[in-house]
């Protein structure tokens, strides 16, 4: 865990909010908030390290943080849910600790009230089902447990955008001059735009990891036409189970690995499955 401190980064918006807090005389409040946010992110890091995830960086934001890993979408749903929930869970023992510290002479009632306010605010804020908050990641885990990965990506992005717009309209209607609200709104719009642009890359990375994965989980059968492409078939693959494909025209069954290798290794994901099968038949037999 000590080495993970080297991965901590500060988002530019963090410094903007920090400068505003310092100039307005809220340095102590900022320090307290920074400590809580840091512990929140270290909670994520501890859970990720428990599952041997590869952590790329931990970026601190004005009202939270983002732990970037090389594992998004490629680990078991249970692991991803546990890592996402680990951050908010940290706030519960912190709240309990504040009540215990009330007995100490250096922890006053004002400190306790402020500490509770920050913890509860961060707890509720991070559980909003908006990407990339922890609530959004938990919602994505739920989508991937119910739908193919490709559909889960699309549904998550659309749901998150809808919820973000609804929350933004309500908040800005009641607090139109709230500077931090505008900063956060700009940040979330940027994140959603970036996520939308990176969806094809994330999907291909999921397929690439799936190709190298040796899973013994049960298989489901999907009916496809040989006029479809391997990439079309891959869009029906779910995270929680392997898939095999039944071709309606000739009754042939293709394994998931055959479809994935056609996409990731042969680079023939946009070729019709019929043409792919014919090319395999034309290849000379090598003993």
Nearest Cα residue to 117 out of 169, 173, 63, 161 = 63
**DSSP state letter for 147:** S
> Which residues, at least 6 apart from 65, have a Cβ–Cβ distance to it below 8 Å?
37, 38, 40, 41, 44, 58, 59
Active-site option among 41, 79, 80, 222: 41
Question: What are the CA-CA distances from residue 48 to residues 67, 127, 232, 287 (Å)?
Answer: 9, 18, 32, 46
CA distance linking residue 106 with residue 187, whole number of Å: 37
Other Cβ atoms closer than 10 A to 284: 4
CA within 13 Å, CB half, 106: 0
Question: What are the CA-CA distances from residue 238 to residues 84, 89, 103, 149, 215 (Å)?
Answer: 20, 28, 52, 5, 13
Contact 32, 83 (CB under 8 A): no
Determine whether 80 is an active site residue.
no
Q: Which helix (H) or strand (E) holds 8?
A: strand 8-10
Q: Which helix (H) or strand (E) holds 21?
A: helix 12-23
Sheet holding 219-224, edge to edge: 219-224, 242-247, 253-255
Catalytic residues: 41
């Amino acid at each position: 865990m000590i080495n993970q401190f080297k991965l901590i980064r500060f988002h530019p918006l963090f410094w903007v909010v920090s400068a505003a807090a310092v100039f307005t005389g809220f340095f102590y409040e900022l320090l307290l908030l920074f400590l809580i946010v840091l512990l929140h992110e270290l909670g994520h890091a501890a859970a990720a390290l428990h599952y041997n995830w590869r952590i790329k960086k931990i970026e601190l934001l004005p009202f939270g943080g983002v732990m970037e890993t090389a594992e998004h979408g490629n680990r078991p749903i249970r692991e991803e849910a546990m890592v996402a929930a680990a951050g908010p869970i940290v706030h519960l023992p912190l709240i309990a600790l504040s009540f215990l510290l009330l007995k100490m002479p250096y922890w006053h009632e004002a400190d306790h009230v402020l500490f509770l306010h920050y913890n509860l605010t961060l707890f509720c804020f991070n559980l909003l089902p908006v990407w990339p908050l922890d609530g959004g990641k938990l919602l994505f885990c739920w989508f991937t447990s119910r739908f193919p990965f490709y559909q889960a990506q699309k549904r998550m992005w659309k749901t998150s955008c809808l919820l973000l717009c609804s929350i933004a309209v309500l908040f800005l209607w009641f607090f139109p001059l709230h500077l931090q609200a505008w900063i956060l709104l700009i940040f979330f719009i940027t994140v959603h735009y970036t996520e939308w642009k990176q969806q094809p890359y994330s999907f291909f990375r999921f397929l690439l990891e799936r190709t190298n994965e040796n899973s013994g989980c049960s298989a489901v059968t999907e009916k496809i036409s040989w006029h479809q492409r391997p990439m079309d078939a891959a869009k029906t693959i779910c995270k929680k189970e392997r898939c095999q494909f039944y071709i309606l025209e000739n009754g042939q069954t293709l394994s998931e690995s055959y479809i994935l290798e056609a996409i990731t290794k042969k680079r023939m994901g946009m070729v019709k499955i019929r043409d792919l099968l014919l090319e395999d038949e034309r290849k000379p037999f090598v003993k």
